[in-house]
């Protein structure tokens, strides 16, 4: 199917006033969103506004509550409306606050911001070294201060955006990690974010995205620490039977060519990540979602 045909299909099936319960959800993940990408990002958000309805955590709760009920009986109103959309941003970058958040609001969305909790209180002069040491992607035009500060994060939370956990130190759970280290990264991050926003984060985004970063001990720790949702970067639609602790996101770039953006949002990345999702199932146990197989590529988180 051509890109324009995909676009037209979406446009014809998504009337602005048909806001029924979504049957499925697309979650997307961005990293840097610098000013130079504003026009591109605006075009992407405009596409989202026409074809999706934005969701925050309460909406995701309602989606899965309906999924539980649906096991016994499919409720009335389960069909129709636009698919749901979760727009997420990893790494707590200041350009998320300056560029992405105002644009999101202009288009009627709220974002999910996954923040390494050590970053907001950190002195600007220390941030570049922290990012380099802990594998954060540095925006090409980043100034001295790379991360959002505490006031900006609190402001986002007050404006209805979701603040989520991305570990304390942007820690990949690969290599020589043990349960104690994982638990420390999660609990320190949760407590630090709670101190900033007044609410403990309920959602988590895995750091890295390489196959060995999805660690079984971390999966257990996420359950034990009471996280509601955990997000990978292994691109697939979220359906009612998805495991809330294994929700897949499609990685996008703010400045990517528009046809590539359309292809990825409409399923191209789902195909290329089939094999990675199967490997993840083998590593962490099979989720309730249906399994698949194939080849794949990596995407960073």
Instruction: List residues near Zn ion by CB under 5 A.
Output: 90-91, 207, 301
Query: What does the buried/exposed string (b/e) look like for 104-127 if buried means 16 or more CB atoms within 10 Å of the residue's CB?
Result: beebebbbbbbbbbbbbebeeeeb
- Between CA 172 and CA 209 the distance in angstroms is 8
Closer CB to Zn ion, residue 152 or residue 299? 299
- Between CA 97 and CA 166 the distance in angstroms is 17
> Shortest Cβ distance from residue 253 to Zn ion (Å)?
14
- Mention every residue, 6+ apart, whose C-beta is less than 8 A from residue 129: none
Are the beta carbons of 237 and 270 closer than 8 angstroms?
yes
Closer CB to Zn ion, residue 148 or residue 289? 148
What tokens does 69 get?
A: 């009920």
> Shortest Cβ distance from residue 116 to Zn ion (Å)?
7
Closer CB to Zn ion, residue 249 or residue 277? 249
Closer CB to Zn ion, residue 21 or residue 301? 301
Closer CB to Zn ion, residue 221 or residue 301? 301
What letter does residue 147 receive in the DSSP assignment? B
Closer CB to Zn ion, residue 63 or residue 214? 214
> Shortest Cβ distance from residue 150 to Zn ion (Å)?
19
Q: Residue 146's Cα: distance from chain center in Å?
A: 20
> Shortest Cβ distance from residue 126 to Zn ion (Å)?
18
> Shortest Cβ distance from residue 170 to Zn ion (Å)?
6
Are the beta carbons of 272 and 295 closer than 8 angstroms?
yes
Residue nearest to Zn ion (CB): 90
Closer CB to Zn ion, residue 106 or residue 212? 212
Count of beta carbons in the 10 Å neighbourhood of residue 137: 15
Residue with tokens 């899965």: 64
Q: Which of 231, 208, 210 is nearest to 219 (CA)?
A: 231
- Between CA 63 and CA 219 the distance in angstroms is 22
Q: In sequence order, what are the beta bridge partners of 93?
A: 147
> Shortest Cβ distance from residue 48 to Zn ion (Å)?
22
> Shortest Cβ distance from residue 171 to Zn ion (Å)?
10
Q: In sequence order, what are the beta bridge partners of 29?
A: 88, 251
Cα–Cα distances (Å) from 124 to 136, 157, 165, in that order, read 15, 22, 21
> Shortest Cβ distance from residue 202 to Zn ion (Å)?
18
Closer CB to Zn ion, residue 7 or residue 298? 298
């Amino acid at each position: 199917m051509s890109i324009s045909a995909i676009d037209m299909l979406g446009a014809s099936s998504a009337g602005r006033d048909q806001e029924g319960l979504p049957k499925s959800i697309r979650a997307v993940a961005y990293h840097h969103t610098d000013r130079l990408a504003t026009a591109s990002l605006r075009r992407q958000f405009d596409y989202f506004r026409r074809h999706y309805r934005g969701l925050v955590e309460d909406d995701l709760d309602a989606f899965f509550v309906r999924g539980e009920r649906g096991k016994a009986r499919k409720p009335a109103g389960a069909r129709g409306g636009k698919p749901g959309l979760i727009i997420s941003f990893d790494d707590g970058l200041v350009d998320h606050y300056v560029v992405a958040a105002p644009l999101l609001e202009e288009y009627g969305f709220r974002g999910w911001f996954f923040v390494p909790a050590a970053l907001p209180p950190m002195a600007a002069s220390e941030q570049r070294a922290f990012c380099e040491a802990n594998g954060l992607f540095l925006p090409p035009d980043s100034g001295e201060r790379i991360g959002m500060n505490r006031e900006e994060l609190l402001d986002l939370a007050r404006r209805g955006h979701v603040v989520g956990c991305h570990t304390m130190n942007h820690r990949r759970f690969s290599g020589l990690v043990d349960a104690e280290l994982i638990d420390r990264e999660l609990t320190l991050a949760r407590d630090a974010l709670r101190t900033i926003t007044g609410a403990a984060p309920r959602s988590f985004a895995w750091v890295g995205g390489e196959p060995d970063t999805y660690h079984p001990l971390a999966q257990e720790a996420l359950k034990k620490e009471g996280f509601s949702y955990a997000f990978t970067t292994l691109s697939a639609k979220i359906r009612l039977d998805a495991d809330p602790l294994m929700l897949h996101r499609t990685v996008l770039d703010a400045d990517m060519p528009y046809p590539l953006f359309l292809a990825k949002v409409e399923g191209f990345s789902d195909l290329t990540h089939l094999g990675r999702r199967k490997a993840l199932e083998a590593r962490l146990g099979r989720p309730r979602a249906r399994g698949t197989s194939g080849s794949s590529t990596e995407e960073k988180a």
